[in-house]
Amino acid sequence: MAVDTMIVSERQAPAWKRIGAMREAGLIAIILALGIVMSFASPHFLTFGNLRAMLMSFSVEGIVVVGMTILLIVGGIDLAVGSVVCFAMVLAGSLFLTGVDPWTASLVGILASSLIGMIMGFFVTVVGLNHFITSLAGMVIVRGLCLVFTKGTPLSLFTLPASFKAVGQGTFHGVPYVILIFVAVVMLFDFLLRRATAFRKVFYTGSNEKAALYSGIKTKQVKFWVTVLCSTLAGVAGVIYMSRFGAATPTFGVGMELNIIAAAVIGGASLNGGSGTILGAILGIALLSVVTSSLILLDVSVYWQDMIKGCILLAAVSIDHLLHKRKAA
Amino acid sequence: MAAQPVLEVRRVTKHFGAVKALTEVDFLLERGEIHALCGENGAGKSTLMNIIAGVLQPNDGEVLVDGAPVKITSPATAQAFGIGLVHQEIALCPDATVAENMFMAATNRRRSPLMNYGALEREAQVVMNRLAPIDVRRKVAVLTISSQQLVEIAKALTLDCRVLILDEPTAALTEAEAQALFGIIRDLKAAGISIIYISHRMAEIFSLCDRVTVFRDGRHVVTEKIADVTPDDIVRRMVGREISQLYPPKQSPETRSDETILSVRELSDGDRIDTVSFDLRRGEILGLGGLIGSGRTEIAEAICGLRAKSKGEIALRGTPQHIANYRDAVDAGIVYLSEDRKGSGVFVDLSIAQNISVLDLKTLTGRLGLLNARAEADLARDFVRRLGVRMGGIDMPVSSLSGGNQQKVAIAKQLAVRPQVILMDEPTRGIDVGAKSEIHRLLRELAEAGIGIIVISSELPELLGLCDRVLVVREGAIAGELDDTEMSEEAVIRLASGVTPTDRTAIGRTENVA
């Protein structure tokens, strides 16, 4: 056996790329198909207003999805994102009402979110609890903090200056700032995830923590900072929501974490860590958003909506699991 | 002995994919006998025991209990037939108490829906007291490995079995604990229970057993009365195979060098390793032989900073090294390839290129902390070509490769940091024959290029065929060194199991002292 014959054309890379692309292509196909069906079913679906509303609605959640996807890749999970979004919003709002400049207040809100991430990261990496339990506790505690800050009543922030409100409500050459921010975040982290050494370590750690440790990677550090990143992005989303709604509600974002995790998983992130893409996760949240919008336009009872979304999640993940099993065989 | 054998296995065959683990094996267990089962690692002993205990199903052949053909479809069925198996590996619930663990299987068969903890603990303590003074109310997690092994044995004693299978029960026990166990085994025999005793230790087999069966390469070789054989006979029959010519030529006397690459002095970890000293010379492949669990892996781990050492010096080309963790070892030029390829060797769902670059990230990182994708691809392509990895492309996940090619990627990963010493633990485990000899040739080439190579292998032919020199490890210490002229499977087995080639009464004595 000569060495030359053993190499079967190494340039034939696309085989796996095609499979990798298939997931995203499949999601795009499903979204398009749903869009075509809906454009016949409802005259309101394919209007500029509705499309823009849909894009707006998942743009801010999309920022949180980015953080969650990276955390899932490292093998973690964060159930507290909904609470942290709300916390950043409520904290920044309260500070603003005490007379702090809204930009400074927002920065404090975001930094406080990072701090929450650090505390959770501490419990995960130093104390040694798992992400699920730590963030479950975080979810409840932070939600409690929101209620404490507001004494349970929504903060009305109609006095926010127009320059600040513009972040959530204004447009740049007709494109909402929210969408621009979202696209920037997505592109930045998509690039980093593919190219930056620091983020490559996220994949190594999530794929096989022991092997990563044996390769000299400081896996605990990696897990800590990814946890912080996820919380920080949730904080960013929180202040954007505040700007957009001109209000801060202590019950905002209840159940949001499930939507976020569902989107990342539909987009191909594995709960076992080691895999996931930003593009996939964004398509995942787009799909959920199109479904929600469709259900509303079709006048489906709210009571049914959650059930239908749950079934879609189950179907998407099952199909993915079966495809993977076949690939491995 | 009664005329009707309590357990009989007829022409049983078992294969895993293309690998034949057992080929038309016969085995016969008489009532009330202690029957030793011997064979090298991989000879098929454990496979047969797992079939008898219902863990595995045979592809062909039949199992008879009391002369009647039966199907043992699960461990629960085996228990119903009165067959109990003490696994070599410990399978206990660490958070449950000793008593709860002991009665796990028995509880499963009980009819009462409620647990009677008082009675459970009393019964458990009675059984346990015969073995060792262990409080049955303690949690298993706090016990030492040898105590856990005793719990595993006690667990089997709580089932009223007629056939008891012990798979290397003394591997983790101290001498006193082992003697207590032998007493119990003799009591069980007196009570009419039949015992299958798997062990590598000749002294135990000769002091305890009535008959012995030898397996080799998944086949039954011979069954004899212990009184009619010597330890030498058994060792010879366990080996009895010619070494194939699949291995690359060894170092010739002219190329042999006296230059020492790695020297290890009085390495101990206060637990599994006991004052290990040796030198690795330039250009040689040094083998570490010994039984599974003898401490070979632990020695490698201690050298590489993966296991804390209590004392000992490690020097590379005469320079003492301070290796506190694995990163230090890699920086010094010492890399370790784990035996557990999937568990701690490769990242199966990441690409080949990403796997090869993992140890070398620093040199591949350019400005702004960005990874130089082209350099990474070049590195991967280079190694893939040199090692002859068969694949679809360097972007393919490692999971798409065969075992042999996965191993080549794991080796490439280590080579990417230009190491001076590579320690390989079971480098060809679970790899088909063709890929095996490719890896052997690769290792030889690396050795000729001046890299020091240490190979740990449980496969004797590999150890003898590949290595220029073999150190045999026994109970955490170097039991002996064999150079090319002294090497033989018998010599390795003798050193590994503590059998000297002299008469057998002497063996028993040395074993007891050890």
pLDDT (tens digit, 9 = 90+) per residue, B66-87?
989 999 988 888 888 889 888 7
Residue A61: band (very low, low, confident or very high) from pLDDT cuts 50, 70, 90: very high
More confident residue, B175 or A218: A218
Cα of B431 to nearest chain A Cα, Å: 17
B398 lies in the same domain as B432: no
Does the beta-carbon distance from B358 to A196 stay under 8 Å?
no
Which residue of chain A has the CA closest to B395?
A13
Residue B465 forms part of a structural domain: yes
**Which residue among B361, B385, B417 closes a domain?**
B417
Classify strands A171-172 and B469-474 as parallel, antiparallel or unpaired. Answer: unpaired
CA distance B319 to B261: 10
Interface test mutation site (partner A, options B330, B338, B342, B358, max chain A beta carbons within 10 A): B358
Check residue B105 and give its pLDDT.
67
The answer to whether B267 and B314 have CB atoms below 8 angstroms apart is yes
More confident residue, B39 or A281: A281
Check residue B463 and give its pLDDT.
87
CA distance A78 to A255: 12
Closest residue to B395, CB basis, from A16, A203, A274: A16
Does the beta-carbon distance from A13 to B381 stay under 8 Å?
no
Supply φ then ψ for residue B496, to 5 degrees: -70, -35
* Tokens, residue B282: 């330039």
B354 lies in the same domain as B502: no
More confident residue, A322 or B186: B186
- What is the ipTM for the molecules in this complex? 0.72
* Tokens, residue B279: 């030198």
B79 lies in the same domain as B143: yes
Give the Cβ contact number of residue B172 at 10 Å: 19
Residue B64 forms part of a structural domain: yes
Residue A325 has pLDDT above 80, yes or no: no
B427 lies in the same domain as B403: no
B69 lies in the same domain as B183: yes
Q: How many domains does chain B have?
A: 3
* Tokens, residue A234: 């949730």
**Which residue among B378, B395, B417 closes a domain?**
B417
CA distance B378 to B387: 14
Q: Which of residues 329-388 of B touch A (CB under 8 A)?
A: 330, 336, 338, 343-351, 354, 358-359, 361, 364-365, 369-371, 373, 381, 384-385, 388
Does the beta-carbon distance from B394 to A13 stay under 8 Å?
yes
Check residue B197 and give its pLDDT.
94
Does the beta-carbon distance from A7 to B343 stay under 8 Å?
no
Check residue B471 and give its pLDDT.
92
Indicate the angle between helix axes A102-122 and A219-245, nearest 10 degrees: 150
**Which residue among B391, B417, B443 closes a domain?**
B417
Does the beta-carbon distance from A13 to B385 stay under 8 Å?
no
Domain A47-328 adopts which CATH fold? ABC transporter involved in vitamin B12 uptake, BtuC (1.10.3470)
More confident residue, A327 or B13: B13
What b/e readout covers B313-341, taking b as 16+ CB neighbours within 10 angstroms?
Answer: ebebeeeebebeebbebbebbbbbbbbeb
Q: Tell me which H or E stretch contains B289.
A: strand B285-290
Cα of B150 to nearest chain A Cα, Å: 30
Q: Tell me which H or E stretch contains A157.
A: none
Which of the residues in chain B have pLDDT under 70? Answer: 1-3, 17-19, 41-42, 105-115, 172, 240-246, 341-343, 430-434, 500-514
Give the Cβ contact number of residue A4 at 10 Å: 8
B380 lies in the same domain as B476: no
Q: What digits encode the pLDDT tens for the residues B384-439? A: 888 888 777 888 888 877 777 888 888 888 888 888 999 998 887 766 666 777 88
Residue B255 forms part of a structural domain: no
B235 lies in the same domain as B279: no
Residue B340 forms part of a structural domain: no
Cα of A282 to nearest chain B Cα, Å: 22
Q: Which range marks the domain in which residue B407 is found?
A: 350-417
B208 lies in the same domain as B81: yes
The answer to whether A197 and B365 have CB atoms below 8 angstroms apart is yes
The answer to whether A27 and A280 have CB atoms below 8 angstroms apart is yes
Residue B405 forms part of a structural domain: yes
Residue A13 has pLDDT above 90, yes or no: no
A152 — alpha (psi -120 to 50), left (phi > 0) or beta?
Answer: left
Q: Which of residues 418-457 of B touch A (CB under 8 A)?
A: 434, 438
Check residue A92 and give its pLDDT.
95
**Which residue intervals of chain A are DSSP H helices?**
3-6, 14-41, 48-73, 81-97, 102-122, 131-150, 162-169, 177-195, 197-207, 209-214, 219-245, 256-266, 278-297, 302-328
What average pLDDT score do residues A223-237 get?
Answer: 97
Interface test mutation site (partner A, options B323, B328, B347, max chain A beta carbons within 10 A): B347
Check residue A22 and give its pLDDT.
63
Please measure the distance between the N-terminal and C-terminal CA atoms of chain A and give it in whole angstroms.
Answer: 27
Least confidently predicted of A4-8, A270-274, B286-290: A4-8
Residue A128 has pLDDT above 70, yes or no: yes
CA torsion sign for B460, B463, B466, B469 is negative
Check residue A133 and give its pLDDT.
95
The answer to whether B294 and B496 have CB atoms below 8 angstroms apart is yes
- Which residues in chain A are closer than 8 Å to B389, comparing Cβ atoms? 6-7
